[in-house]
Amino acid sequence: MRTAALTLIGTSLFGLCSLAEAARPLEPIEIDIRDKASLQRGAKVFVNYCLSCHSASYMRFSRIASDLVIPEPLMVEKLMFVTDKIGNTMEIAMRAVDAEAWFGVVPPDLSVIARSRSPEWLFAFLTSFYLDPSRPTGVNNLESRGTAMPHVLWEYQGWRRLAQQVENAGRGDSLSLEMAIAGRLPDSEYKNMVRDLVSFLAYLAEPVKPLRQNVGIGVLLYLAVFLAIAYLLKQEYWKDI
């Protein structure tokens, strides 16, 4: 059962990433899970647009409040819509049987999606939706053809479509998108919004990473000092030989 669950999580944001086709190189992005302001913005997007369908059951609201320096009263008021207990994990109210009936697949838990995929892939996925009337949700995605996930951030990005000159391109051909209906945000601001969300997902996947890095630096400094002392001792012991 555990293997099956991990497989489901690793397949896609909506269980269909096994169909993903890399239609373009992934755009490198810079994220910093030490940037509290970025993570706070990402948390806001996550609870408003992702948490209705996707859980993050390995993370507790109290841990987020502590790590991101969010006062608990503010956390309860602004970021907790699925529970009233700050010690609870980020579960969803939607039942798996209902999700499968509505979407055809159970939306995976996103606790470790940034590790099972990559931040670059998540960024590309969330910026690659385009209009496709043949799909039940009316949209498709360049990074995951046939995805069951709707474009939940359409209000901010707007609606895009395949560019006319490559509309009939075959599988594996390079595809590009053009704006059909503008959204509330310019493209650069929308990408910043997605980058904040991806940063938060990266934090969810490994919240102890900053501590681990600090410990690693401390260990390396200790080893450097020990090496210097060991070298001096070696020089002292062997100076007469």
What pLDDT shows up at residue 25?
79
The better pLDDT of the pair 164, 238 is held by 238
| CATH architecture, domain defined by 2-207 | Orthogonal Bundle (1.10)
Q: Which amino acid is at 233?
A: L
| 8 Å CB contact between 177 and 142 | yes
Predicted TM-score of the model (pTM): 0.79
Extents of the domains making up the chain: 2-207, 210-241
| 8 Å CB contact between 199 and 42 | yes
137: phi then psi, degrees, rounded to nearest 5: -90, -5
In 3-state terms, what secondary structure has residue 203?
Answer: helix
What pLDDT shows up at residue 1?
39
What pLDDT shows up at residue 129?
96
Give Cβ neighbours of residue 67 (< 8 Å, ≥ 6 apart): 39, 203, 207
The CB density around residue 73, as the number of other CB atoms within 10 Å, is 10
pLDDT in tens, 7-32: 333 444 444 343 334 446 788 898 99
